[in-house]
Amino acid sequence: MRLLVLGAAGMLGGKLVERLARDPLIGAERISEMLLVDVVPVQSGAAGEVGVETLVADIAEPGVAEDLLSGRPEVIFDLAAVVSGEAEVDLEKGYRVNLDGTRRLLDAARPSGRSYRPRLVFSSSIAVFGPPFPDVIGDECDTTPATSYGTQKAVAELLLSDYTRRGFLDGIGIRLPTICVRPGRPNRAASGFFSSIIREPLNGETAVLPVPRDVRHWFASPRAAVQFLLHAATLESREIGQQRSLTMPGVSATVAMEIDALRRAAGDEVVSLIRSEPDEAIAHMVAGWPRCFDTRRASQLGFRAEGNFDEIVRVYIDDELGGVIGAASG
Amino acid sequence: MRLLVLGAAGMLGGKLVERLARDPLIGAERISEMLLVDVVPVQSGAAGEVGVETLVADIAEPGVAEDLLSGRPEVIFDLAAVVSGEAEVDLEKGYRVNLDGTRRLLDAARPSGRSYRPRLVFSSSIAVFGPPFPDVIGDECDTTPATSYGTQKAVAELLLSDYTRRGFLDGIGIRLPTICVRPGRPNRAASGFFSSIIREPLNGETAVLPVPRDVRHWFASPRAAVQFLLHAATLESREIGQQRSLTMPGVSATVAMEIDALRRAAGDEVVSLIRSEPDEAIAHMVAGWPRCFDTRRASQLGFRAEGNFDEIVRVYIDDELGGVIGAASG
């Protein structure tokens, strides 16, 4: 099986590639080749039996998508995106990459018709939903994005369904929860604090909490997200139905629940590294984010996330800290 | 007030222009200039105090939208579209006109920023909804189009909301019901029979009914549709809210209800001109169309359609036949 990964240099792309290098299977199918693409160089850790090629390329440029599909990969993971904050600041870049880039990829699959119908796993986002929200957002909720990023993802979802219906490809869009705990250094994303209030204390560093503790949001671990991608690659097309995008399961947790889970895992001293510094601007943004979903469709199709925030903390400790809590835990 | 009408040579565009030529007001504002644009020559009946210019141009071509907006029209009616059947047969044309054309228009309003924010009235369609339908489709129903045309309209709606939110223009999308009774000759649209079973008998000609009489659909007259456009042009922006597209009110009627209304208006002899000729293909398509809506948001904003199908028949007789039923009525 030939694989194409777009956005392979990102956090999620890196974790997906790492998993596939370690265990080169998608369902029961063995991977023979992987083409890893990003706009920045991809550090590939893959080796062994799998032929790995890396390429620096921009899917939004004319002709690039056609080239990438010329090897007829059976499965494509499209994780390439301009993130929410940047898409809001730089309108043209967001539309160019998130809308036009995805459309170029879809269009590149058209000329071959039904003789080549790759499975395209598209990383969408819960940002396709916008306020006012019901208490629990169901699978039939209308997509009314409140950001340009969410708009671009919602548009791509519509195109994915139409192109799949017309038989050009076999698409599935997975609406990812906020990934938590993100490894690495703090970034400037407005949602960054959800991860940093767990990650930094576990690494013996202070973390800033800019919102009240009753703020609630929807989370899954990086490990769960990789599982979503792999599971989406193996589903039977007819099981997915006409609407090709699904909200992924997750954990609905408040900041207080996050902190309680951290306390149970690492104790009071670690929790004491969290400093409240209210930030009106961040609090205002976060107030417009979804809090809880009923992801019945995805659950019926076998997608699984963590069951509670304790498990999310445990995944970070196991996968990023080798199971050991750092210096601050003593 | 300067006006731009895109798609001015179409049925609805023609009726809008005719109304504005007769009564050059939008709300309380007097129209000074109208620029009427289509890909085919526009036959303008306008005259008098209003300066009318007509232009053959394709909004989907680069640079055209910028030129059209250079005169800074305060109100733009965007009625230009490749219709449903054609968008399904010719994928590239549908996407080029219905998606790229609309996007070029939206993008053309960007550079001027907040110094120029035209009201853009965008003609969307109930085709943004797809099966399975609830019995009554509410304002919060998800847009899950089952056709490429519906997909293109749903995408344009998303862009309209995002560009309005960002302050580039002041958009409103109106999801038109199936317009009935369409004047003129029968066309090849799958929905054509809804109009022809009224129109042809009233003109003393036979009409073919390809579906069972219990088929139900959502209708408004051409007169109501022109009123939707004019009313949409006058609404206060803040009244519309974040979601800029609204399902328009209409009449939910079965074919049997259409025929009963025709009988009440014109008698049994006229009704006898309808011949049942079941067409499986048409019946199958129509089974995937919406039947009934709860258009609370639009009603609260003052949009009004006919109250029943008798009124829809009456509008045709009044507006197209000069109030007199033709030869077959005797």
CATH of B192-218+250-292+306-329, one of 1.10.3720.10, 1.10.10.10, 2.160.10.10, 3.90.25.10: 3.90.25.10
Q: What is the pLDDT of residue A113?
A: 67
Any idea where the domains of chain A sit in the sequence? 2-177+221-247, 192-218+251-292+306-329
B316 labelled catalytic: no
Q: What is the pLDDT of residue B329?
A: 42
All residues of chain B having their beta carbon less than 8 Å from the beta carbon of residue A110 are: 91
Q: Label residue A311 exposed, middle or buried (CB < 10 Å: 0-12, 13-18, 19+).
A: middle
> pLDDT confidence of B49, banded at 50, 70, 90?
confident
CA distance B88 to chain A (A): 9
Contact A148 B166 (CB under 8 A): yes
Query: CATH for A192-218+251-292+306-329?
Result: 3.90.25.10
Residue count of chain A: 330
Interatomic CA distance for residues B130 and B51, integer angstroms: 42
Q: Does A89 touch chain B (CB under 8 A)?
A: no
Q: Does B159 touch chain A (CB under 8 A)?
A: yes
Q: Does B196 touch chain A (CB under 8 A)?
A: no
Q: What is the DSSP letter of A248?
A: P
Q: What is the pLDDT of residue A169?
A: 96
Quick one: fold of B2-177+222-247?
A: Rossmann fold (3.40.50)
Q: What is the pLDDT of residue A46?
A: 59
CATH of A2-177+221-247, one of 3.40.50.1110, 3.40.50.2300, 3.40.50.720, 3.40.50.1100: 3.40.50.720
Q: Give every CB contact of residue B202 below 8 A, 6+ residues apart in sequence.
A: B262, B266, B270, B316, B317, B321, B325, B326, B328, B329
CA distance A143 to chain B (A): 7
Q: Look at strands B274-276 and B207-209 and give their pairing.
A: parallel
Q: Does A158 touch chain B (CB under 8 A)?
A: yes
Mean pLDDT score of chain B: 94
Percent of chain B having pLDDT more than 90? 87
Tokens in use for B64? 């055209």
Contact A130 B242 (CB under 8 A): yes
pLDDT tens-digit readout, B146-198: 999 999 999 999 999 999 999 999 999 999 999 999 998 877 678 899 999 99
Q: What is the pLDDT of residue A190?
A: 80
Residue from A151, A161, A245 to probe the interface with B (highest B Cβ count within 10 Å): A151
Tokens in use for A206? 């202070």
Residue type, A278: P
Q: What are phi and psi of B218, to 5 degrees?
A: -120, 120
> DSSP labels for A131-165?
SSPPSSB-TTB----SSHHHHHHHHHHHHHHHHHH
Q: What is the pLDDT of residue A330?
A: 40
CA distance B173 to chain A (A): 14
Helix (H) or strand (E) holding B97, with range, is none
Q: What is the DSSP letter of A221?
A: -
Kindly give the confidence (pLDDT) of every residue in chain A, 330 residues in length, as a single tens digit, with 9 standing for 90 and above: 999 999 999 999 999 999 999 999 999 999 999 999 999 999 876 566 788 999 999 999 999 999 999 999 999 999 999 988 899 999 999 999 999 999 999 999 998 767 899 999 999 999 999 999 999 999 999 999 999 999 999 999 999 999 999 999 999 999 999 999 999 887 767 889 999 999 999 999 999 999 999 999 999 999 999 999 999 999 999 999 999 999 999 999 999 999 999 999 999 999 999 999 999 988 988 888 999 999 999 999 999 999 999 999 999 999 999 999 864 444
All residues of chain A having their beta carbon less than 8 Å from the beta carbon of residue B148 are: 162, 166
